[in-house]
A and B are shown apart, each in its own frame.
Chain A
Amino acid sequence: SQTIHQWPATLVQPVGSPLSLECTVEGTSNPNLYWYRQAAGRGLQLLFYSVGIGQISSEVPQNLSASRPQDRQFILSSKKLLLSDSGFYLCAWSVRDRDYSPLHFGNGTRLTVT
């Protein structure tokens, strides 16, 4: 069966520090991968998605970047965190090239920027 892992579960970082959140998927190949952010009162916002190694698309301009160095690994990064980067970050995967494949989410990382 497929599983998705995110770490760390919680993170407190000072403004201006770097960030690296990691997500890995097991039990499937060539998945679509996604990073969503859930901020208080703002619902779920898609930040990045990837259809393959090295292929990253950004949904909104921001202080963050994403990379996919391996087929089942997705990394969210920042060089210098802002207070507004605080939130709950969720990684998800879906089956590529299958119509209406639902997204499957990890347990998230709660980031607090102080």
Chain B
Amino acid sequence: AQSVTQLGSHVSVSEGALVLLRCNYSSSVPPYLFWYVQYPNQGLQLLLKYTTGATLVKGINGFEAEFKKSETSFHLTKPSAHMSDAAEYFCAVMKGNTGFQKLVFGTGTRLLVSP
């Protein structure tokens, strides 16, 4: 079954430091992977997605993620954290076939950014 695991329910960084949020997937077929961000009391916003092609995917707000098949990982990174990056981040894998597909989410990682 396709699933994702996010390591670390909370990650704390200082402003200007590297952000690294970890996601590992489990899939018997090529996975289609997504990262979403959720600000307090808001819905989820798509950061980036990996379907096929280039394994390094660039998203919005300076985030990027690299698909590594050998490590079954899709970690999210940003070179320099801003205070506005403080939010909860969800990794997700898509399940299903053309016609209907759904997202299965990890449990989320809350990013805390200190001045």
> Which B residues have a C-beta under 8 Å from some C-beta of A?
32, 34, 36, 41-46, 49, 51, 90, 94, 98-108
Number of interface residues of A (CB under 8 A): 26
A/B pair count, beta carbons within 8 Å: 60
Q: Which of A99, A105, A110 contacts B44 (CB 8 A)?
A: A105
CB neighbours of A92 from chain B (8 A)? 43-44
CB neighbours of A25 from chain B (8 A)? none
Task: Tell me whether A94 and B101 are in contact in the complex, defined as CB-CB below 8 angstroms, given that A43-B106, A43-B107, A102-B34 are known contacts.
Answer: yes
Extra A-B contacts (8), CB below 8 Å, given A43-B108, A103-B46, A107-B43: A32-B101, A46-B102, A46-B104, A96-B99, A96-B100, A97-B99, A99-B101, A103-B102
In the complex, which residues 19-34 of chain A have their Cβ closer than 8 Å to any Cβ of chain B?
Answer: 32, 34
CB neighbours of B32 from chain A (8 A)? 100
Identify which of B44, B46, B51, B98 gathers the most chain A CB atoms within 10 Å of its CB. Answer: B44
> Which A residues have a C-beta under 8 Å from some C-beta of B?
6, 32, 34, 43-44, 46, 49, 51, 88, 90, 92, 94, 96-108, 110
A43 nearest in chain B by CB position: B107
Task: Tell me whether A104 and B46 are in contact in the complex, defined as CB-CB below 8 angstroms, given that A43-B107, A110-B41 are known contacts.
Answer: yes
